[in-house]
Amino acid sequence: MNFQPNELRELRGAYEGRRVLITGGLGFIGSNLAIALVELGAAVSLVDALFPDHGGNWYNVWPVMRKVSVVVADMRDQARMLALVEGQEYIFNLAGQVSHVDSMEEPQTDLEMNCRAQLSLLEACRRRNPLAKIIYASTRQIYGRPRYLPVDEEHPLQPTDVNGIHKMAAEWYHRVYARVYGLATCSLRLTNTYGPRLRIRDARQTFLGWWIRQAVAGEEILVYGDGRQMRDFTYIDDVVRAFLLTGCRALFQGEAYNLGGCEVVALADLAALLVDLAGRGCYRLVPWPEERLAIDIGSYTGNYQRAREVLGWQPVVPLRAGLAQTLDYYRANWEHYA
Ligand SMILES: NC(=O)c1ccc[n+]([C@@H]2O[C@H](COP(=O)([O-])OP(=O)(O)OC[C@H]3O[C@@H](n4cnc5c(N)ncnc54)[C@H](O)[C@@H]3O)[C@@H](O)[C@H]2O)c1
């Protein structure tokens, strides 16, 4: 990770020697955050259930394997969580089920993963560690189909799928536990995040992981609809910086901050860029599959002014550079992900 000298000083001051727990720590975002926190000198513990359909992967933490403590456990296990939260100063709460399509096929499972597991963590903190700073990974999905762009935090919450409803509820649990019990919580509303350690084995989690895999393999990428849908992808290093800065600078009153990307891109242009960077493969526009169209949100771009003002955060990695680094990573580590 590249930090500005001032930022690095502040982050070291905040995390060096401090106890940090990351839930979902073997997953895409959690593992990248773990690596950065180890670099900053934190004492890092990870908890992850390693559900086979999720993004957890032992190889994700290979660079820091001997420097982190990993507990394979389900966050719904209240007794385990009571022990795990004790003494932690920061809890980055990233465990969750991220597939929108899966949430429609198995809504009860999504409820378990995104709501019950979250209550289990918050209850454990309320009983054993009410002073920990808790940063929750929320999502732009809770806004649903945008009424205006770019979407700010005041936009109505009107999720279009079960996953969005449960992530919204989980964010609200964090808010209510801050207001009623005085827990130090806040949420980051992430937009589509990409980069090394993203699950690319299938399209369950995000279409982008699948597209990255197809680009590396030189296959044909299928773009649904007219390809003019807009998105503001965030590179993983920018998301990790956002979590780290949030830990130091947020108000911790249950508030939420949008993240966003350096640039806005139409999905057909993204596919073309991937093909160009990979130097192989191609893309084609195809009609929407019914089950995906039914929960689609159209174009989305986020207004991250609040994060800029309060957290001093803004994305800095351009899409082209981020995608190039991502493709390099998967070329070099193909057998661990594909
Ligand atoms: N990746 C994105 O584009 C994106 C966008 C918006 C929000 N988010 C949120 O960020 C968080 C992390 O996403 P990710 O992309 O790293 O996903 P991921 O699937 O790669 O990682 C999530 C990890 O959580 C673990 N997990 C799930 N339920 C658990 C439980 N009950 N107990 C213990 N571990 C459990 C999984 O095994 C997995 O390893 C999620 O909460 C997700 O909703 C991600």
144, part of any domain: yes
DSSP bridge partners of 47: 23, 71
Short-list 105, 96, 91, CA closest to 75: 96
For ligand 1, atom 28: residue with the closest CA = 96
DSSP bridge partners of 46: 22, 70
Scanning the chain, the segments in alpha helix (DSSP H) are 5-15, 28-39, 78-85, 100-105, 107-111, 117-128, 162-181, 207-217, 236-249, 267-278, 290-293, 305-306, 319-337
What are 215-273's pLDDT values in tens digits? 999 999 999 999 999 999 999 999 999 999 999 999 999 999 999 999 999 999 999 99
Q: What is the DSSP letter of 215?
A: H
70, part of any domain: yes
112, part of any domain: yes
Per-residue pLDDT of the chain (338 residues; tens, 9 = 90+): 888 889 999 999 999 999 999 999 999 999 999 999 999 999 999 999 999 999 999 999 999 999 999 999 999 999 999 999 999 999 999 999 999 989 999 999 999 999 999 999 999 999 999 999 999 999 999 999 999 999 999 999 999 999 999 999 999 999 999 999 999 999 999 999 999 999 999 887 789 999 999 999 999 999 999 999 999 999 999 999 999 999 999 999 999 999 999 999 999 999 999 999 999 999 999 999 998 898 899 999 999 999 999 999 999 999 999 999 999 999 999 999 99
Cβ-based neighbour number of residue 226 at 10 Å: 11
What pLDDT sits at residue 291?
A: 86
63, part of any domain: yes
Question: Which structure tokens are listed for 318?
Answer: 């351009």
What pLDDT sits at residue 181?
A: 98
> How many distinct structural domains can be found in the chain?
1
Give residue 40 CA to ligand 1 midpoint distance, Å: 23
245, part of any domain: yes
Give residue 259 CA to ligand 1 midpoint distance, Å: 16
224, part of any domain: no
The SS3 assignment for 56 reads coil
Which atom, in ligand 1's list, is nearest to the CA of 138?
Answer: 7
23, part of any domain: yes
Q: Which residues line ligand 1 at a C-beta cut-off of 6 Å?
A: 24, 26-30, 47-51, 54-56, 74-76, 94-96, 98, 113, 117, 137, 139, 167, 190, 192-193, 199, 205-206
Host domain of residue 246: 5-195+234-261+301-317
105, part of any domain: yes
Q: Which residues contact 333 (CB under 8 A, 6 or more apart)?
A: 59, 196
The CATH number of whichever domain residue 307 belongs to comes to 3.40.50.720
